[in-house]
Structure 1
Amino acid sequence: MLLAVIVGVVGGVIIGALPGLTSTMGVALLIPVTFSLPPQIGLAMLGGIYCASTYSGAISAILLNIPGTSASVATMLDGHPMARAGEPGRAISLATFASCIGGIVSVVALLLLAPQLAEFSLRFGAPEYFLLAVFGITVIASMSAGAIEKGLIAGAFGLVLSTVGMHPLTGTMRFTFGLPSLYDGVPLVVSLIGLYSIPEVIDLVKRSRRDGEQRRAVDAAGFLSVIPEILRQKVNLIRSSLIGILVGIVPGVGCSVGGFLAYDAAKKASPTPERFGKGAPEGIVASETGNNAVTGGTLIPLLTLGIPGNPVTAVLLGGIMIHGLRPGPELFSTNAEITYGFIFSLFLSNLLFVPVGLFLARFGLRIVQVPPAILAPIILALAVVGTYAIRASLDDVWIMLAVGALGWGMAVLAVPRAPLVLGLVLGTLAEGELARSLALVRGDVSAFTLGLLGRPISLIILALCVAAIGHGIVQHRRNSKFLE
C-alpha cells in the first residue's frame, strides 16, 4: 500500500507540474491500472495522484508563470513575482509545506466530521449555489488592487466568455461559431495555458534581446528554512484550511475557487495588503492551503452521499464503484477496513508529496537560469502539446493561441488577468444555478427574490457578499487617497 501511494504521488507531482495534464486526466488514466489490484491498493494509488497533482500545479505556476492546474492560479499571483525576485526556492517551499498542512487538515475533517458536513452540504439548493458563485465574483475587486476599473472590465469579460456554449437548461448554442470545441464552453485549462503562457513567451523573447541582462543566482538549498515562517502564520493556515474544506463540500465549486477565496481572505486580513501581488508569502500560503484543503472536502460528500464535488471526484467515483464499493453512509460500516485505509492513504499522500515535490523542484529551479532565448520555445512547445493532449483537438490549440493573444494585450495594457479567470470559472456556475432557481419558480423573479430572503443560508451568503463589496469600496477609497 505504501508503494502504491508513492507511485501515485510521484505520478501526480509530474502530471500536475506539466501544463495541460490535469488531475482529472491523471486519475482517469490510472483507473485501468488499478483493475487488477485489491481495492485498498488501487484507491491508495488514486488518492496519491489526486492530492499530489493538486499541489504540484504550483511548481510551474511559480517557475514559469503558467498554472499547471486551475487550482494554482491564485498561487501564481505572488509565487512568480517571488521567483522573479530571485527566490524561487523559497516560493516553492512555502507552497509545498502550506499544501501539506491544508491537505492534512482536510483529511482530519474527512475522518472526524464527514457525516455532519455532508448533511450540511445537502442544505444547499440552487439559490445557495448561485449566491455562492456571486460571493466568489466579489473577489474580483480584491484581485484588482490599483486598477479596480480594469479588473472589473476583465471580470465582466470573463463572465461573457462563460456564456459561450450550450445553455445549461435549454441546450441552445451560443457564440460557438460552428466550432464543436466550443459546444461545452470555452475550455478552462486551454484558456489558462494560453492566457499565461503566450504573454510569458513574448516577454522572454523581449528579454533575450536586451544586452547585458544578468540572471540571478539561485540557491536550491534551505528548503526547510521556511518552516518557522509558515508556522508564524497560524491564523492564515487555519482560516484558509476552513475555507477550502467548506468550498470542497459544496459540489461543483472546485479547487481554484477555494484558492481564490483563501487568498482574498488573507489579503483583507493583512495589515499590508499592498504587498499582495508582489511576492507576499502570505498569499502563497493562503492559496496553497486553501486549494489543497478542498481535496479532502470534496471527498466528504463523495464517500458519505455518493455525490462528486468536482470532475476529479466524479472520475474517482467510477474507480470506487469499479472496485465493488457503493458510496454512502454504510460505506464506513460495511467496508470500514477499505474506507479508513483509503483515508489513511490520503494522509500519507499529503506527507509524501513534500519530499517528492522538493526533490523534483531542485531540478526545476534550474529553469530560471535557462537563457530566455532557449526557454521561450520550450514553453511554447509545452503549451501546444499540453493543449492538444487534453482532447486531441487542433481547435483547442487555436483557441489557446487566441486566448494567448488576448492575454498579451491585457499584459500590455496592465489589465489583471486573474479577474478574467475568476469570471470564467464562476460564470458557468452562476448562470446554471440561476437558471435552475428561476425554473423552480417558473420564471417569477419576485418569488425567487422572496425565496432568497426566506432561506437562512442564503441570507448569510448575501451578508457576506455585501460585506465583501463594502470592504472593496472602502479599500479602493483608501488607495485613491493614498495615491493623491
Structure 2
Amino acid sequence: MDQLLQNIALGLSVAFSLEGLLYCFIGVFLGTLVGVLPGIGIMATLAMLMPITFHLDPNYALIMLGGIYYGASYGGSTASILMNLPGTATSAVTGLDGYPMAKQGRAGQALFMTAIASFVGSIVGVILLAGFSVPLARVALRFGPHEYVALMLLGLIAASVIGSGRSIRSLIAVSLGLALGLVGLDLNSGVARFTFGQTVLFDGLPLVAVAIGLFGLPEIIASAGRAQTPKVQSDKIRLRDMLPTREDWRRSAMPMARGSGIGAFFGALPGTGGLVATFVSYAVERKMSKHPEQFGKGAIEGIAAPESANNAAVQSAFIPTLSLGIPGDPVMAIMLGVMMVHGILPGPTVIQDSPDLFWGLIVSFVVGNIMLLVLNLPLVGMWVKLLAIPYNYLFPVIVAFTCIGIYSVNYQIVDVFVLLAFGFLGLGMRALNFEVAPLLLGFVLGPMIEEYFRRSLIVSRGDLGSFFDRPIAGTILVITAAIVVWAIAVKTRAALAGRGKPVSDNG
C-alpha cells in the first residue's frame, strides 16, 4: 500500500508540473477539435504532431499524445449527436440514439450525458490500468487466434440484435459488411481482391469514409431540402436546462457501469479496441432493456453505454502497450514508436525502469478527463445553438468540410468517391428499412475474423476441432451458440403467441 501511494505521488509530481498540465491541455483541446471535425481522424493528427514530440521529454510527449487520443474519442460524439456525422468511427454508435434525441430538442441532455459517461468510462479504465496492468496483460497473452475468432463471431451474432428491425435484415447487412471487408490485398497470398486494378484500394476501403458515408451523408441528402430546423431553445441555455432528468440518470447508471466493464475488457485485448467495445455494449443494453423498441429513437442508454465503453477501452488499451510492448491498434503503435525513439523499451520492466513515465501518464489521464469535463460542459450550449442555423446554409458547409477532411487523411480523391458511394448506399438502406450499424460492424470485423481464422487453421493444421480444445475459445463459442438458440426460441414463442391471440372485432 505504501508503495502504491509513493507511485501515485510520483505520478502527481509529473502530471501536475507546469509542463505536464500544459501539454495535457494541448492534447485534449486538439483531440476534441479533431474529433468534432468529421473525417480528419486521430491517426492523421497524431502523425502530424508526432515529430514535435521528439523534442519533448518522453513523459510530456506521451501525455500530449494520450490527451489527443481520448480527447478525440470524446469530441467525435458531438458531431455525431448534433448532425449524425460521426467525427470518428467509434462515435457512429452514439449517433444511433444521440441524433434522435437532438431532433427531439434534447441535444443538451445528450451531450451532457456523453461527457459524464465518457468521464466514468475513462476513470474505470484508469483504475484498471493502475491496479491491474500486469495481471490483465497476462490474461491478454493467453488469447491466441482461436480466442479472437470466437470473440469476433460473438460480436457478429450480437450485431444481429443491434438493429431495431427484423433480425434477417440485420444479418443481410452484416453479410454485406463482411463482403465489403474483402476488398484489398489478401494477407496470406498478397493477391488483390475486388480492387478493379485500383492500387489505392490495396489497403481496403477507408473506414472513416465508409462510416461517415453510411451515417452522415444520408441524413444530409434527406434533409437538404427541408425548411424547418430542429427544436432548439430560443432563450439562453443554462446548466439546469442541460441536466438530464432523474429518470435519465436512473436509466443510465447501470449501462454506464456495464459499458465501462465491456470497454475495459476489449481495450486490454490487442487488436480489438473501442470500436468493437461500443457495438457490443450497445447490443448488450438493447438486449437487457425493458424497452428495446426505444433504441434507435432516442434511448438515453444508447448513449451512456457505448460512450463509457469507448473511453474505458481507450484507457485500457495502454495495458498491453505499456506492460507487454504489444500495440493493440495503430494509435498505440504510434505511442510505442515515440517511446522507442526516446530510448524507452516498453515491456514488463517499464514500470520498474521508468516509474515516472508510467505513473505520470496514468495520473495525467485523470487530469485530462477532468479538463475535458471543464472544457466541454460550458460549450454544450454553444454546440446546441448550431442546430438553430438554417439547414440550407449549414449543409453545404458540412459537405465541404467532410470532403476536405476525408481527402486530407490519405490525399486520395478515391476516398471522396467512396464517401459518396456509401452515402447513396446508406440512403437506399434507409429507404428499405435496413439498419446500417450491423453493416459497419461486419465491415470492421470481417478482415479481422479472416486473418485470425486462417492463422488458427495454420497453427492447428486445418483442425476445426482445435477451437473446442482450447477452454477460452470453446466457452465463448458455446455462449455464442446458446445466444443463437435462445434468440430463435424467443422469436418462435412470440410468433406462436401472436398466432394464438383472438382476432378483435376491428380486425
Q: TM-score interval w.r.t. the shorter chain?
A: over 0.9
Q: CA deviation at 1:8?
A: 0.6
Query: 1:377 corresponds to which residue?
Result: 396
Code of the residue aligned with 2:76 in structure 1: it is: G
Change in CA separation of 1:272 and 1:474 when aligned onto 2, cut-off 3 Å = farther
Query: 2:224 corresponds to which residue?
Result: 205
Query: 1:49 corresponds to which residue?
Result: 68
Query: 1:88 corresponds to which residue?
Result: 107
Query: 2:406 corresponds to which residue?
Result: 387
Q: Quick one: distance in 2 between partners of 1:220 and 1:473?
A: 47
**What SS is found at the alignment partner of 1:247?**
helix
Aligned partners of 1:8 and 1:48 also within 8 Å: yes
Query: 2:262 corresponds to which residue?
Result: 243
Query: 2:130 corresponds to which residue?
Result: 111
Pick one of 269, 288, 295 that aligns with 2:314. Answer: 295
Aligned length: 476
Q: Quick one: distance in 2 between partners of 1:483 and 1:433?
A: 42
Q: Quick one: distance in 1 between partners of 2:455 and 2:314?
A: 27
Q: Quick one: distance in 2 between partners of 1:214 and 1:330?
A: 57
**What SS is found at the alignment partner of 1:308?**
coil
Within a 5 Å distance, the mapping from 1:175-194 to structure 2 comes to: 175-194=194-213
Q: Quick one: distance in 2 between partners of 1:478 and 1:92?
A: 39
- 2:448 paired with 1:429: yes
Pick one of 115, 118, 134 that aligns with 1:99. Answer: 118
CA deviation vs aligned residue, 1:233-256 (integer Å, no higher than 9, x gap): 433222111110110111111211
CA deviation vs aligned residue, 1:292-327 (integer Å, no higher than 9, x gap): 110122100000000011111111111222222111
Change in CA separation of 1:33 and 1:134 when aligned onto 2, cut-off 3 Å = same
- Scaled by the length of structure 2, what TM-score is found? 0.90
Pick one of 1, 7, 22 that aligns with 1:3. Answer: 22
Code of the residue aligned with 2:469 in structure 1: it is: G
Change in CA separation of 1:277 and 1:305 when aligned onto 2, cut-off 3 Å = same
Q: Quick one: distance in 2 between partners of 1:246 and 1:352?
A: 25
Q: Quick one: distance in 2 between partners of 1:162 and 1:407?
A: 16
Query: 1:220 corresponds to which residue?
Result: 237
Q: CA deviation at 1:69?
A: 0.5
Change in CA separation of 1:88 and 1:141 when aligned onto 2, cut-off 3 Å = same
Q: CA deviation at 1:467?
A: 3.2
Code of the residue aligned with 1:464 in structure 2: it is: I
Within a 5 Å distance, the mapping from 1:337-352 to structure 2 comes to: 337-352=356-371
Change in CA separation of 1:396 and 1:302 when aligned onto 2, cut-off 3 Å = same
**What SS is found at the alignment partner of 2:136?**
helix
Code of the residue aligned with 1:361 in structure 2: it is: V
Code of the residue aligned with 1:216 in structure 2: it is: K
Aligned partners of 1:73 and 1:256 also within 8 Å: no
Code of the residue aligned with 1:330 in structure 2: it is: T
Q: Quick one: distance in 2 between partners of 1:190 and 1:65?
A: 14
Query: 2:472 corresponds to which residue?
Result: 457
- 2:299 paired with 1:280: yes
CA deviation vs aligned residue, 1:416-448 (integer Å, no higher than 9, x gap): 110110100110110111111112233x2xx2x
Q: CA deviation at 1:481?
A: 6.9
Percent pairwise identity: 38
Query: 2:436 corresponds to which residue?
Result: 417
CA deviation vs aligned residue, 1:163-208 (integer Å, no higher than 9, x gap): 1111121111100011122101111111112122221121122323
Change in CA separation of 1:183 and 1:483 when aligned onto 2, cut-off 3 Å = farther
User: Computing the radius of gyration over CA atoms, which structure comes out larger, 1 or 2?
Assistant: 2
Change in CA separation of 1:472 and 1:386 when aligned onto 2, cut-off 3 Å = farther
CA deviation vs aligned residue, 1:243-282 (integer Å, no higher than 9, x gap): 1011011111121111111111111221111111111111
Q: Quick one: distance in 2 between partners of 1:227 and 1:36?
A: 48
Pick one of 41, 52, 70 that aligns with 1:22. Answer: 41
Gaps of 5+ in 2: 1-19, 500-507
Considering only aligned residues, what root-mean-square deviation do their CA atoms show, in Å? Answer: 1.9
Aligned partners of 2:88 and 2:208 also within 8 Å: yes
Query: 2:98 corresponds to which residue?
Result: 79
- 2:73 paired with 1:58: no
Change in CA separation of 1:244 and 1:216 when aligned onto 2, cut-off 3 Å = same
Q: Quick one: distance in 2 between partners of 1:91 and 1:483?
A: 36
Q: CA deviation at 1:157?
A: 0.3
Q: CA deviation at 1:473?
A: 2.9
- 2:156 paired with 1:141: no
Q: Quick one: distance in 1 between partners of 2:473 and 2:263?
A: 19
- 2:400 paired with 1:396: no
Change in CA separation of 1:288 and 1:158 when aligned onto 2, cut-off 3 Å = same
Aligned partners of 1:157 and 1:420 also within 8 Å: yes
Q: CA deviation at 1:222?
A: 2.6
Pick one of 350, 353, 366 that aligns with 2:372. Answer: 353
Code of the residue aligned with 1:237 in structure 2: it is: M
Query: 2:11 corresponds to which residue?
Result: none
Code of the residue aligned with 1:457 in structure 2: it is: I
- 2:130 paired with 1:130: no
- Scaled by the length of structure 1, what TM-score is found? 0.94
Change in CA separation of 1:169 and 1:124 when aligned onto 2, cut-off 3 Å = same
Q: CA deviation at 1:214?
A: 6.0
Q: CA deviation at 1:391?
A: 0.2
Pick one of 373, 376, 382 that aligns with 1:363. Answer: 382
Q: Quick one: distance in 1 between partners of 2:373 and 2:48?
A: 23
**What SS is found at the alignment partner of 1:113?**
helix
Query: 1:469 corresponds to which residue?
Result: 484
185-194 or 224-233, which deviates more: 224-233
